[in-house]
Amino acid sequence: MVMTMRLARSAVLPALLLSTSGFAAGAPVALVEDVTGAPGVEFMDYVEVGKIIPLNAQDSVVLSYLYSCVRETITGGVITVGKEQSDVRSGKVVRTLTHCDAGRMLLSAQLASQSAGTISRNAKSKQADPTSSPIPQFVLYGLSPVIDLKGGGGTVEIARVDQGSERYVLAVGDPKLQRSAFYDLADVGLTLTAGAIYRATIGSQSVTFGVDPSAKPGKTPIIGRLLRFDRTP
């Protein structure tokens, strides 16, 4: 199965995350990928539209937008988070456009949380049928995913489902944590196979994702290799 590279900007997201007036109230629109100084946000925080982040002159933040795939490096000034990019006053911002499918990833995680049993049973049924081809719910653009468990930790299984016998079992964070727990596979040198399709499972939640054929190893932008489970404590 050949997966073509695409930007989340062109994806049509279901009404679950979007409304006629914009994003649902309180829905995350950007991810904090890096922080220098003490700007009031932390690494791997999700921020919503309207969030204001004041920076001292020496402070900097890297924000990646989940639906536009815009990645911003901002130094100093006052940041107001928007839908697709930030409004920056009295500061310096450098913007790049990166490859990501984070909007679909976030939606898939929410759907898995809301109907975990149904998704898991359907996935197992399709896997048991040798004539069916697994369809990824979203695509990663890095070979080493960053696993994010909203509201705690647990044991995550990642298994290849299109062919072969790749399988990894990873302990991610502490299940008692109230904040997100995350695990960067690049930190341990673990890489998946470019062009392959995998299923990631924790408990009864399961999501299926593809790895883009041109995906690169190492610490590529997190927004392009984010694998999130929408768990609650």
DSSP bridge pairs for 172 = 154
| Domain identity same for 56 and 133 | no
In a domain, 4, yes or no: no
Q: Which of 82, 97, 112 is the last residue of a domain?
A: 97
In a domain, 42, yes or no: yes
Q: Which of 97, 132, 157 is the last residue of a domain?
A: 97
pLDDT in tens, 84-135: 999 999 999 999 999 999 888 888 776 765 544 444 444 444 444 544 668 9
pLDDT at 102: 83
Sign of CA dihedral 100, 112, 18, 53: negative
Given a cut of 90, is residue 212 above it in pLDDT?
A: yes
| Domain identity same for 37 and 128 | no
pLDDT at 107: 80
pLDDT at 233: 44
Quick one: average pLDDT of 205-222?
A: 94
Which tokens go with 134? 């697994």
| Domain identity same for 28 and 64 | yes
Q: Which domain holds residue 134?
A: 102-229
pLDDT in tens, 14-46: 333 333 334 555 788 999 999 999 888 999 999
DSSP bridge pairs for 225 = none
d(C-alpha 216, C-alpha 233), whole Å:
33
For 85, the 3-state DSSP assignment is coil
Quick one: average pLDDT of 155-175?
A: 87
| Domain identity same for 119 and 216 | yes
Please answer whether residues 95 and 70 qualify as being in contact, where contact means their C-beta atoms are separated by less than 8 angstroms: yes
Write out the E strands in 166-232.
167-172, 181-184, 197-202, 205-216, 226-229
In a domain, 3, yes or no: no
Question: Percentage of the chain with pLDDT > 90?
Answer: 56
